[in-house]
């Protein structure tokens, strides 16, 4: 009976996955040399258009896919062996799982022969699988700084200068002191952070403790490094109760009741500017507490091992991400379409003022892209694993528990018990 039930459950799960695949993933069309699934259709269309000005004979199809369902749809396509894209995207929080499927070519081998000297070490590491093979190139590295409102830091901390604030926040203790001062001097009307999620991200990035060590759980050490410090922010009212990355959270960019948000390099174009219209000229970015940026987000491009035309796929990937011509042309096109541009993986361009040296009036004239690339050698990047989604989801539930009154010790017990049930293989 149990065997029958398992069989029925498997059939139902497969049927659901196939339905989702049929409903959400566009079918590839004949006549294309390269097919790429993307969850940023507008930017991808710009890239393809610029590429085809140089390589008109290589036809690239952009297939828009829901980013939240990308990995599930990919695994379904692999299962039915149909419409698997030639270039596969790897979200920062999910790529470890994709990398573990043994479906991607190693890019340092023929016919690709990736020149690893073109990419910063920590960015290169984000494209490695568990065996150390480079199977992806980061399309948009995400060094993360601290967004602040200039009027509020000037009023309560005496400066709105990013260098002075970075120095003021050089340690966690000095940053905690500054946050307490804001809360106290404002009479409780201004809260440093809107969400416990931002504080958690900063602490995880600052301490940089890996989830796994030698394939086994190291989550207890993550809890020890983060939870007690996080509890202080909750207990003292230094962070609000909003859930991170929600509609309510996005309004805080425009709300003078809050001072800080985390700011990955992709955030100005994707989230901040469109949600902070009243803050034009009033925002700045400084170093996070501890004096180092941290990696948060980004997307790798990889080549499927059964790609229809591997050389064409590599020509497109390499031109877009790792050539000066591609990076300059795409950046110019993005700016012409109203964007700010972003940080790329080609390290040889980090000193190029034409790409990264523009003053951004929205950020008070700060050269925000130069800020990010000037600190590319000062970034913490936690090693990624195939368990990141499961561990991350469990940590998210624990944050809600702490927000609702559970202590650091209780939260640690909660997550360790939960992960032992979900991932017994990473515990001895």
Q: What is the pLDDT of residue 43?
A: 95
Is pLDDT at 20 greater than 60 in this prediction? no
Q: What is the pLDDT of residue 354?
A: 87
Q: What is the pLDDT of residue 29?
A: 60
Are 201 and 155 spatial neighbours (Cβ–Cβ below 8 Å)? no
Residues 6+ apart with CB under 8 A from 60: 32, 33, 34, 35, 36, 48, 51, 52, 316
Is pLDDT at 23 greater than 50 in this prediction? no
Q: What is the pLDDT of residue 338?
A: 83
The Cβ of residue 275 has, within 10 Å, a number of other Cβ atoms equal to: 16
In the CATH scheme, what architecture does the domain 146-296+381-426 have?
Answer: 3-Layer(aba) Sandwich (3.40)
Average pLDDT value over all residues in the chain: 92
Write the pLDDT tens digit of every residue in 315-363: 999 999 999 999 999 999 998 988 888 999 999 999 999 899 999 999 9
Q: Which range has the top average pLDDT, 15-24, 29-38, 234-243?
A: 234-243
Domains 2-141+313-349 and 146-296+381-426 share a fold: yes
Q: What is the pLDDT of residue 340?
A: 80
Write the pLDDT tens digit of every residue in 361-420: 999 999 999 999 999 999 999 999 999 999 999 998 999 999 999 999 999 999 999 999
Percent of the chain with pLDDT over 90: 89
Least confident of 18-32, 190-204, 303-317: 18-32
Peptide bond into 111 cis (omega under 30): yes
Burial class (CB in 10 A: 0-12, 13-18, 19+), 52: middle
Percent of the chain with pLDDT over 70: 93
Are 51 and 326 spatial neighbours (Cβ–Cβ below 8 Å)? yes
Write the pLDDT tens digit of every residue in 120-177: 999 999 999 999 999 999 999 999 999 999 999 999 999 999 999 999 999 999 999 9
Q: Is the pTM of this model over 0.85?
A: yes
Q: What is the pLDDT of residue 15?
A: 38
- Maximum Cα–Cα distance for the chain, whole Å? 71
Is pLDDT at 90 greater than 80 in this prediction? yes
Token readout for 296 is: 């948060």
Write the pLDDT tens digit of every residue in 265-300: 999 999 999 999 999 999 999 999 999 999 999 999
Is pLDDT at 19 greater than 70 in this prediction? no
Pick 317 or 31 by higher pLDDT.
317
Domain boundaries defined on the chain:
2-141+313-349, 146-296+381-426
Q: Give the CATH fold of the 2-141+313-349 domain.
A: D-Maltodextrin-Binding Protein; domain 2 (3.40.190)
Picking from 69, 15, 14, 13, the residue whose alpha carbon sits closest to that of residue 37 is: 69
Token readout for 184 is: 């106290």
How many residues does the structure list for the chain? 428
Residue linked to tokens 């090693």:
383
Q: What is the pLDDT of residue 28?
A: 55
Q: What is the pLDDT of residue 339?
A: 83
């Amino acid at each position: 009976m149990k065997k029958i039930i398992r069989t029925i459950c498997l059939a139902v799960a497969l049927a659901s996955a196939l339905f989702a695949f049929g409903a959400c993933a566009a079918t590839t069309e004949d006549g294309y040399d390269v097919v790429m699934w993307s969850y940023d259709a507008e930017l991808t269309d710009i890239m393809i258009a610029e590429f085809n000005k140089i390589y008109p004979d290589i036809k690239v199809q952009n297939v828009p896919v829901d980013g939240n369902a990308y990995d599930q749809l990919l695994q379904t396509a692999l299962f039915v062996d149909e419409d698997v894209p030639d270039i596969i995207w790897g979200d920062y929080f999910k790529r470890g799982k994709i990398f573990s499927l043994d479906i991607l070519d190693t890019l340092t081998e023929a016919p690709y022969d990736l020149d690893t000297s073109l990419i910063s070490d920590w960015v290169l590491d984000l494209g490695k699988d568990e065996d150390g093979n480079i199977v992806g190139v980061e399309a948009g590295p995400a060094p993360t700084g601290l967004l602040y409102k200039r009027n509020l830091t000037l009023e309560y901390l005496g400066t709105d200068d990013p260098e002075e604030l970075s120095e003021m926040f050089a340690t966690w203790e000095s940053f905690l002191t500054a946050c307490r001062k804001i809360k106290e001097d404002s009479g409780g009307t201004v809260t440093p952070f809107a969400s416990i999620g931002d504080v958690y991200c900063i602490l995880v990035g600052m301490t940089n403790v890996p989830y796994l060590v030698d394939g086994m759980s190291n989550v207890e050490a993550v809890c020890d490094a983060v939870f007690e410090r996080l509890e202080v922010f909750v207990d003292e009212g230094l962070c609000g109760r909003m859930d991170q990355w929600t509609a309510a959270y996005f309004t805080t960019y425009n709300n003078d009741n809050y001072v800080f948000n985390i700011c990955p390099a992709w955030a100005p174009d994707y989230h901040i500017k469109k949600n902070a219209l009243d803050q034009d000229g009033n925002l700045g970015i400084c170093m996070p507490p501890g004096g180092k940026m941290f990696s948060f987000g980004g997307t790798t491009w990889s080549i499927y091992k059964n790609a229809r035309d591997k050389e064409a796929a590599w020509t497109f990937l390499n031109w877009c991400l790792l050539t000066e011509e591609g990076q300059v042309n795409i950046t110019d096109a993005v700016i012409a379409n109203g964007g700010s541009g972003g940080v790329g993986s080609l390290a040889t361009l980090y000193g190029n003022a034409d790409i990264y040296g523009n003053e951004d009036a929205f950020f008070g004239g700060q050269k925000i892209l130069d800020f990010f690339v000037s600190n590319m050698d000062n970034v913490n990047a936690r090693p990624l694993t195939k368990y990141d989604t499961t561990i991350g989801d469990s940590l998210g539930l624990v944050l809600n528990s702490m927000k609702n009154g559970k202590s650091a010790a209780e939260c640690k017990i909660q997550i360790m018990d939960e992960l032992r049930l979900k991932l017994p293989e990473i515990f001895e």
